A and B are shown apart, each in its own frame.
Chain A
């Protein structure tokens, strides 16, 4: 899937990022100087207590948010200060997101949900022209996640695991280089969660996808190559998986 040049350098990195939210008159620091880098093809877990800032770090790396202090780099290039339109474009092309609550659009069918990133990327006209190609791509990916029999269903008609698979298919359809997963198994039972983890691992191993996963579950985190531990906005330990 990665068609850019493979470099030994880090794929995505956060350099000395701090993030402070303002609630009323008080500044609430969420991240207090975090340094982290992820190499290409690496599967990293970020683990920490609730409120440790792990989700915020993921959002910062995924350009959903901007750090108060510090920088985000993709392949050595700073991206957090790019104009909004460019960051939107990067989110669409480079990152794939998976959320704890799946976040599928309830009005759309499984297939349409999967196609959303492509619809966002293309104008109506180009999308129309390449509709067939995109549909085939979405079919292929849904087959890969094991949902080819659920194309026309609405998210409300799916089970939790199926919804998360749909979300993964949606994250994959745009051909991302980095998959950002925010508690992907957090809402699923152990067995289903393990199915999702197996899917992620196979994506990482077979397609060389860089995966950053946030979790608070030690057992899930252990399945990654590396674990980054956060505690109250700071790195706690770095250890090889």
Chain B
């Protein structure tokens, strides 16, 4: 009884103990805040990766893919149909995207993904990642309403804005080319204006397939001299009939392509007439190849010299044309090049994907890569993305799918398995951070140790009295252990409350700090989040609280033992 009473009295009268309470509190609060924010970020990241990868991914081992998407779909549905919510058939292949900038072709290594947007949207948040569906905010003010209506199915149609831009630069280009012969005479190597985009038809010879343009593929593919000069002009340059329509020269299977191309009506018309036409017209129509390009492929942050603010400059806009290089199916793979129109910008918030992915319309990509069986007209696919009804059954589904998709042809993995190293790295990072942060609480523990030694020295006489009155050594020890426990409980209790409040109001606090320092602490243009994501895990909070209480008790063991060992006569020796 006296232990409790004294413990409570010491807690109330020893203000120095408040210091240790505060240090425990700060440690606990920091751990809770950092853990919550980290797991908030990690969750957000997992969600995004999961969104891009879908739940289960079946990949063919060969680059050529396996023919007939419908057959694969049925096979998967037979194996695990009751678990599958939807499947998206895609072709994934590496490639290069080139865009024109400052008179040069700038290449970007990319992963080219052929998708059917409606199916892709069913396995992941495609719509949420496409720029034209988003409301753009700057410092909380809406600067652009969504360009497409909510609920509109994602597709390959260009928005009005993109079409307008397309007409604009096309018009500019036409005027430029109209003047070109005269200009060349005056200044042959005049730099091009930044907005200049080459017309695919003009650039065609550079990317001409070996079969039609050059007997030597290597030379044709390089063509550096030609790349630099917007040389061939319809009517002026040495245009050949086969080169006027862009895709015609690329693919030998003209008839197949025509039949299967969903954008046959968008087909670029004879370019010979375009020089004279003005305004938006069919000649400004987008190319049959359509793309969603990853935002970070074409965005660069810049600092505005006047306002000192960071803004994002987009080098390629929807409506522009870019060049895509990839390899054909078959052995050996051959380089394939085509022009395609950018329909939208893709922004998932995962830089690994935003700086890498280019989505293309599936059938066009299949066609360009020669993945369409000329006899049946069925396209091959390389990757199946499957969304499950319940992700908890994923291991079982993977087993079922492995039974029908033999491992020498296919790899069946969950998204977590596919992203294993990244997820493991995040886990390790968070574990190390926790260890480091726990050191803060350990420091608080040493604070308690030191303060308790002081209190024991200060209370030597009282300990002697208690012993003279019959208190056992264990009793005296338990006073100080209970004292440490009380400090730990109070400290971690207050810490938990402070930490949770901080997490709850973290965005308000962030706003306050931004206002104070005049600098945005959490810039959504860098992190892609409008607010700081947090997730409070009950178990984390529990472990942190219990851990810090334990540390407080452990830190009080040594002083408590010292108190217990005090000899009553020594302790009572006169002051």
B233 CB to closest chain A CB (Å) equals 98
Known: A99-B572, A128-B1. A120 touches B10 (CB 8 A): no
A50 CB to closest chain B CB (Å) equals 11
Contacts of B494 in A (CB 8 A): none
User: Is the CB–CB distance between B470 and A105 below 8 Å?
Assistant: no
- Within B452-480, which residues are at the interface with A (CB < 8 Å)? 461-462, 464-473, 475
For B2, B10, B569, B572, which residue has the most chain A Cβ atoms within 10 angstroms?
B2
Contacts of B572 in A (CB 8 A): 64, 99, 103
User: Is the CB–CB distance between B568 and A64 below 8 Å?
Assistant: yes
B392 at the interface (CB under 8 A from A): no
A48 at the interface (CB under 8 A from B): no
User: Is the CB–CB distance between A124 and B4 below 8 Å?
Assistant: yes
User: Is the CB–CB distance between B469 and A91 below 8 Å?
Assistant: yes
User: Is the CB–CB distance between B465 and A103 below 8 Å?
Assistant: yes
User: Is the CB–CB distance between B2 and A120 below 8 Å?
Assistant: yes
Known: A64-B569, A119-B2, A123-B1. A107 touches B468 (CB 8 A): no
Known: A64-B568, A105-B462, A128-B1. A117 touches B9 (CB 8 A): no
Contacts of A88 in B (CB 8 A): 467, 470-472
User: Is the CB–CB distance between A101 and B472 below 8 Å?
Assistant: no
A31 CB to closest chain B CB (Å) equals 13
Known: A120-B466, A122-B1. A85 touches B569 (CB 8 A): no
- Within B462-504, which residues are at the interface with A (CB < 8 Å)? 462, 464-473, 475
Q: Residue-by-residue, is A89-111 near B (CB-CB < 8 Å gives 1, otherwise 0)?
A: 11111000101110111111000
Known: A107-B6, A108-B9. A59 touches B466 (CB 8 A): no
For B466, B467, B470, which residue has the most chain A Cβ atoms within 10 angstroms?
B470
Give the complex CA separation of A99 and B571 in angstroms. 13
Give the complex CA separation of A85 and B5 in angstroms. 22
Contacts of A64 in B (CB 8 A): 467-468, 568-569, 572
Contacts of A99 in B (CB 8 A): 572
For B465, B466, B467, B468, which residue has the most chain A Cβ atoms within 10 angstroms?
B468
A240 at the interface (CB under 8 A from B): no
Chain A contact residues: helix, strand, loop or mixed: helix
Contacts of B567 in A (CB 8 A): 65
User: Is the CB–CB distance between B469 and A107 below 8 Å?
Assistant: no
Give the complex CA separation of A127 and B3 in angstroms. 12
User: Is the CB–CB distance between B469 and A116 below 8 Å?
Assistant: yes
Contacts of A237 in B (CB 8 A): none
A112 at the interface (CB under 8 A from B): yes
Give the complex CA separation of A108 and B471 in angstroms. 16
Which residue of the partner chain B has the closest CB to A187? B574
User: Is the CB–CB distance between B574 and A100 below 8 Å?
Assistant: yes
Contacts of A107 in B (CB 8 A): 6, 9-10, 13
Known: A107-B10, A108-B9. A117 touches B569 (CB 8 A): no
A20 CB to closest chain B CB (Å) equals 14
Which residue of the partner chain B has the closest CB to A183? B574
Which residue of the partner chain B has the closest CB to A106? B462
B575 at the interface (CB under 8 A from A): yes
Known: A101-B575, A103-B572. A120 touches B6 (CB 8 A): no
Contacts of A103 in B (CB 8 A): 461, 464-465, 468, 572
Question: How many residues on B have C-beta within 8 angstroms of the other chain's C-beta atoms?
Answer: 28
Candidates B10, B13, B469; contact of A92 at CB < 8 Å? B469
Q: How large is the interface on A (under 10, 10 to 19, 20 to 34, 35 or more residues)?
A: 35 or more
Contacts of B568 in A (CB 8 A): 64-65
Contacts of B467 in A (CB 8 A): 64, 88, 91
Contacts of A56 in B (CB 8 A): 569
A234 CB to closest chain B CB (Å) equals 20
Contacts of B464 in A (CB 8 A): 103
Contacts of A120 in B (CB 8 A): 1-2, 466, 469-471, 475
Which residue of the partner chain A has the closest CB to B575? A101
User: Is the CB–CB distance between B469 and A97 below 8 Å?
Assistant: yes
- Within A99-158, which residues are at the interface with B (CB < 8 Å)? 99-101, 103-108, 112, 116-117, 119-124, 127-128
- Within B1-54, which residues are at the interface with A (CB < 8 Å)? 1-6, 9-10, 13
Q: Residue-by-residue, is A213-238 near B (CB-CB < 8 Å gives 1, otherwise 0)?
A: 00000000000000000000000000
Give the complex CA separation of A105 and B479 in angstroms. 14
A84 at the interface (CB under 8 A from B): yes
Contacts of B9 in A (CB 8 A): 107-108
Give the complex CA separation of A59 and B569 in angstroms. 7
Give the complex CA separation of A105 and B137 in angstroms. 66
User: Is the CB–CB distance between B574 and A117 below 8 Å?
Assistant: no
Candidates B1, B468, B469, B473; contact of A124 at CB < 8 Å? B1
Known: A100-B574, A103-B572. A119 touches B473 (CB 8 A): no
Give the complex CA separation of A116 and B9 in angstroms. 13
Candidates A62, A85, A108, A119; contact of B472 at CB < 8 Å? A85
- Within B554-575, which residues are at the interface with A (CB < 8 Å)? 567-569, 572, 574-575
A90 CB to closest chain B CB (Å) equals 8
User: Is the CB–CB distance between A101 and B468 below 8 Å?
Assistant: no
Give the complex CA separation of A86 and B13 in angstroms. 33
User: Is the CB–CB distance between A84 and B575 below 8 Å?
Assistant: no
For A59, A105, A174, which residue has the most chain B Cβ atoms within 10 angstroms?
A105
B314 CB to closest chain A CB (Å) equals 70
A29 CB to closest chain B CB (Å) equals 16
User: Is the CB–CB distance between B470 and A91 below 8 Å?
Assistant: yes
Contacts of B472 in A (CB 8 A): 84-85, 88
B207 CB to closest chain A CB (Å) equals 89
B458 CB to closest chain A CB (Å) equals 10
Contacts of B3 in A (CB 8 A): 124
Q: Residue-by-residue, is A1-33 near B (CB-CB < 8 Å gives 1, otherwise 0)?
A: 000000000000000000000000000000000
Known: A65-B569, A108-B5. A121 touches B470 (CB 8 A): yes
User: Is the CB–CB distance between B574 and A101 below 8 Å?
Assistant: yes
Give the complex CA separation of A127 and B1 in angstroms. 7
For B1, B6, B466, which residue has the most chain A Cβ atoms within 10 angstroms?
B1
Give the complex CA separation of A128 and B470 in angstroms. 19
Q: Residue-by-residue, is A74-94 near B (CB-CB < 8 Å gives 1, otherwise 0)?
A: 000000000011001111110
5 residue pairs A–B, Cβ–Cβ below 8 Å: A65-B567, A91-B467, A93-B470, A103-B461, A121-B470
CB-CB nearest 5 A-B residue pairs: A92-B470, A119-B2, A107-B9, A119-B1, A127-B1
Binding site for A on B (CB under 8 A): 1-6, 9-10, 13, 461-462, 464-473, 475, 567-569, 572, 574-575
8 more contacts with CB within 8 A, not counting A97-B469, A120-B469, are A65-B568, A91-B468, A116-B2, A120-B1, A120-B471, A124-B4, A170-B469, A174-B470
